[in-house]
Amino acid sequence: MVSPKMEAIQPAPHVAWAIDGTVLAVGTGEDSVIVDLNERQTNSVTIIDVTRGANGLVEGIHGPYVLSVEIPPRRSFEMEPEPLDAASVILRLWTYNHNTEMEAI
């Protein structure tokens, strides 16, 4: 199985994540964000931020950063888009402790 590249912006602990093909799950159970990386790929670099909001993990900037995903631009081969290679995706991880309360912004 091919995994994205990881960059630790801050030290562990980091949020749990898993990838199945091009579907990325950030967090666990009900406190998770699911992103289909292939569907979100465009003709330019795409950045998806996952932060800790008032009610758990959310996509977008709603509190402290947890993880950012950088998806490379779509590439075409004879006019057909190439499938996304998960190894070309970069995950940037911030310190995450599920048991601490959300910090004020």
Per-residue confidence (pLDDT) for residue 99, from 0 to 100: 64
Per-residue confidence (pLDDT) for residue 102, from 0 to 100: 47
Of the candidates 49, 16, 54, 19, the one whose C-alpha atom is nearest the C-alpha of residue 32 is: 16
The full length of the chain comes to 105
**Tens of each residue's pLDDT in the chain, 105 residues:** 689 999 999 999 999 999 999 999 999 988 999 999 999 999 999 999 999 998 999 999 999 999 999 999 998 777 788 889 999 999 999 999 876 554 443
Per-residue confidence (pLDDT) for residue 82, from 0 to 100: 85
**28 — phi, psi (to 5°)?**
-135, 155
